Amino acid sequence: MDNKNRPIGFFDSGVGGLSVMKEAIQVMPNENYIYFGDSKNAPYGVKSVEEVRDLTFKAVEFLLNKGVKGIAIACNTATSAAVADLRKIYPDLPLVGIEPALKPAVELNKDGNILIMATSMTLKEEKFNRLMNRYKDRASIIPVPCPGLVEFIEAGKLDGKEVEEYLFEKVNTYNGGKIASIVLGCTHYPFIKDTLVKIIGKDITIIDGGLGTAKELRRRLSEKNLLTESRENGTIEIINSSNKNEVIDLSYRLLNK
Ligand code: DGL
């Protein structure tokens, strides 16, 4: 197959990375996509870094065996655990990761705290701490670990009392100070954005890194002259390690949400 017509691979610990692939489909509608979600092993955020690194390496190998021309690690947690090593192992592969979109939040220059919602691992890892150090003098940044939130989304629970109560408690802890914006630093979280808006109101800006990552992927593919020349809509294949029909159904539902 012509290299340009090979698919793009997407990977996440589960269904979350679909929020990023959705943006990529908007930006590059003529590309073919293969999405691999590792829901059987989700959540990653509470595992050890070594475990997440191994699972991510395996997923990348799986996608490469499927003939992908580039890969998006559409998971903040897997990115912080594995992307630096992956770049060393596959120096020629167009590879993008994702990290909490702190820069656009700081550049909004709004009065108040910036809350970064993410998994405990993302917030603990060096990658995020470097990012935070870069901006800590310009804004008040508060990391908000959200254990348990990925599980709601993996179960298809995007709204309702339980999710609302969870989010209310998280956000209320910071009620002491004004909230300027909330960064969704986990690719699962854009799927509960509507429920979050219901709780915090429309005045607080909610930011995620999906679109930025999709554009970066396009830039890296273009750099290697790997963008398709097809003018037809591309194909989408979703594979999930859990092998459960409900998870595949949920994946398509989220992609079309
Ligand atoms: N979507 C992953 C992320 O962006 C969730 C990690 C998890 O499975 O805990 O961090």
Ligand 1 pocket residue status of 44, Cβ below 6 Å: yes
Distance 43 CA to ligand 1 centre (A): 6
Residues 6+ apart with CB under 8 A from 158: 152, 191, 192, 194, 195
**Helix, strand, or coil (residue 136):** coil
To test the pocket of ligand 1, the residue of 39, 51, 188 to mutate (highest count of ligand atoms within 8 Å of its CB) is 188
129-169, pLDDT tens digit by residue? 999 999 999 999 999 999 999 999 999 999 999 999 999 99
The predicted pLDDT at position 176 comes to 63
- Taking the C-alpha atoms of residue 206 and residue 116, their distance in angstroms, rounded to an integer, is 10
Ligand 1 pocket residue status of 11, Cβ below 6 Å: no
Is 0.95 topped by the overall pTM? yes
Distance 116 CA to ligand 1 centre (A): 14
Q: 177-214: string of b/e by CB count within 10 Å (b at 16+)? A: eebbbbbbbbbbbbbbeebbeebbeeebebbbbbebbb
Ligand 1 pocket residue status of 43, Cβ below 6 Å: yes
165-216, pLDDT tens digit by residue? 999 999 987 656 789 999 999 999 999 999 999 999 999 999 999 999 999 9
Residue 13, annotated ligand binder? yes
Q: Give yes or no: 146 in active site.
A: no
Ligand 1 pocket residue status of 186, Cβ below 6 Å: yes
| Active-site residue, from 186, 196, 221, 238 | 186
Both tokens of residue 110? 């709004």
88-106, pLDDT tens digit by residue? 999 999 999 999 999 999 9
Region of residue 67 (left: phi > 0; alpha: psi -120 to 50; beta: else): left
Query: How many alpha carbons fall within 13 Å on the CB side of residue 118?
Result: 30
Radius of gyration of the chain (CA): 18
Residue 8: is its pLDDT beyond 70? yes
Which residue is it, tokens 């690719």?
187
Closest C-alpha to 127, from 138, 143, 139, 113: 143
Closest C-alpha to 59, from 15, 121, 97, 11: 11
